[in-house]
Amino acid sequence: MAKENLEEIKEVDLILGNNEKKEIVKYIESYQEKNVHLEDVMHQKEFLDFGTTVNMEKTRAVVKIQDGCDKFCSYCIIPYARGRVRSRQIESIVEEITALAKRKVKEIVLTGIHIASYGKDFEEKTSLIDLLEKINQIDGIERIRLGSLEPTIINEDFLQRLSKLKKICHHFHLSLQSGCDETLKRMNRTYTTTEFSKVVQLLRNTYPDVILTTDIIVGFPGETEDEFNKTYMFLKNIKFYKMHIFQYSRRKGTKADKMENQVEPQIKEKRSKQLIELSNQNQREYNKKYIGKTVEVLFEEKQGEYIKGHTQNYLYVAVKSEEIEKYHNNLKNVQITEENEEGLIGKIVK
């Protein structure tokens, strides 16, 4: 919400910008009536490091490595709302993950607004792969999972270094957004479908068990039936394991909001349903290939009479057992016996 709108809410006594969060106690103590301390986010140059920025979800720890984005996709407000790329210092990230490993955390997920841009704002040349090489050396961490990744970062050099890091999970969430070149151009995405296919091929050659997931926007302004069909066919060929489908919604202040030919809600709904169906089909088809195979599962939670967890490549596996205390946060080999719409079912093998 904009500063001006916040100021009009009578219950609001104090407005702080992202960069002032660290000083929140000081501001609360000193405020009198209505104060405004909102630094222009576009001028922020440093990552706001709270020391620990981790969220624990089940057995996984989510670690934020950067903020902001310089990409300016035409539908997205983030570069205006969160400012330019600011990366967190490698030492701070390594320190936090080392502390997590001491607390027996086995899996970390690296997140940010645009993690492919990690290090671009540092004076000394640093990139995401440099950071990953450091994290891979931390004892006790067994899995490093990457959050949503811009496909353009993946090339032969990157994969050559990445494939040497044994803790990297073979699960990549590549934000595609559309499978039609004309739509991608209007979205101001910086790759073509041909380039994206090449990235997929490189990943599949490097990691035969890789799982690829993505985000797709349907009903972007000007998306004709023909454009949507191109997207549909592209996705049918690529066969993502899972697709998160978003119906385009207008964001004030973005280029796409001012574009002509906004798409009717019922058309967005129809296209969304078609892609969700395709995603579900792909997932079940892929899961079936695992029946009879043995996979390693990190157990996270108990649901009813099952304990559940994920494989490193992000298959969701359930095992019938009451003994969550025995298995929680432990890696165990599981033989897959069946699959259903929720995932895979198996039994623990010694």
318 binds ligand SF4 (CB under 6 A): no
- Please choose, out of 28-36, 56-64, 69-77, 178-186, the segment that lies near ligand SF4 by the rule CB under 6 A: 69-77
211 binds ligand SF4 (CB under 6 A): no
Using CB under 6 A, which of 16, 61, 79, 171 touches ligand SF4?
A: 79
Residues contacting residue 110 through CB under 8 Å, at least 6 positions apart: 63, 65, 131, 135, 144, 145, 146, 147
69 binds ligand SF4 (CB under 6 A): yes
Please tell me the distance from the alpha carbon of residue 110 to that of residue 35, in angstroms, as a whole number: 35
71 binds ligand SF4 (CB under 6 A): yes
Three-class secondary structure of residue 173 per DSSP: strand
# residues contacting ligand SF4 (CB under 6 A): 9
| Binding flags for ligand SF4, 94-133, as an x/- string (CB under 6 A) | -------------------xx-------------------
In angstroms, what is the minimal distance from the CB of 253 to ligand SF4?
12
Stated as kind and residue range, the H or E segment containing 26 is helix 24-30
In angstroms, what is the minimal distance from the CB of 45 to ligand SF4?
18
| Cα four-point dihedral sign 186, 203, 65, 117 | negative
- Number of C-beta neighbours around residue 21 at 10 A: 11
| Closest C-alpha to 41, from 16, 63, 5 | 16
- Please choose, out of 64-72, 101-109, 279-287, 293-301, the segment that lies near ligand SF4 by the rule CB under 6 A: 64-72
In angstroms, what is the minimal distance from the CB of 163 to ligand SF4?
25
In angstroms, what is the minimal distance from the CB of 76 to ligand SF4?
3
Please tell me the distance from the alpha carbon of residue 216 to that of residue 254, in angstroms, as a whole number: 18
Please tell me the distance from the alpha carbon of residue 182 to that of residue 54, in angstroms, as a whole number: 39
Alpha carbon of residue 306 to chain centroid: 27
73 binds ligand SF4 (CB under 6 A): yes
Residues contacting residue 182 through CB under 8 Å, at least 6 positions apart: 227
216 binds ligand SF4 (CB under 6 A): no
78 binds ligand SF4 (CB under 6 A): yes
Three-class secondary structure of residue 280 per DSSP: helix
Question: Which residue, 74 or 311, has its beta carbon nearer to ligand SF4?
Answer: 74
Paired with 174 in beta bridges are 149
Query: Is 82 within 8 Å of 74 (Cβ atoms)?
Result: no
For the chain, how are helix, strand and coil distributed in percent, rounded to 5? 35, 25, 40
In angstroms, what is the minimal distance from the CB of 287 to ligand SF4?
29
Question: Which residue, 44 or 282, has its beta carbon nearer to ligand SF4?
Answer: 44
In angstroms, what is the minimal distance from the CB of 215 to ligand SF4?
9
In angstroms, what is the minimal distance from the CB of 194 to ligand SF4?
20
186 binds ligand SF4 (CB under 6 A): no
Please tell me the distance from the alpha carbon of residue 130 to that of residue 128, in angstroms, as a whole number: 5
Contacts with ligand SF4 by CB under 6 A lie at 69, 71-73, 76, 78-79, 113-114
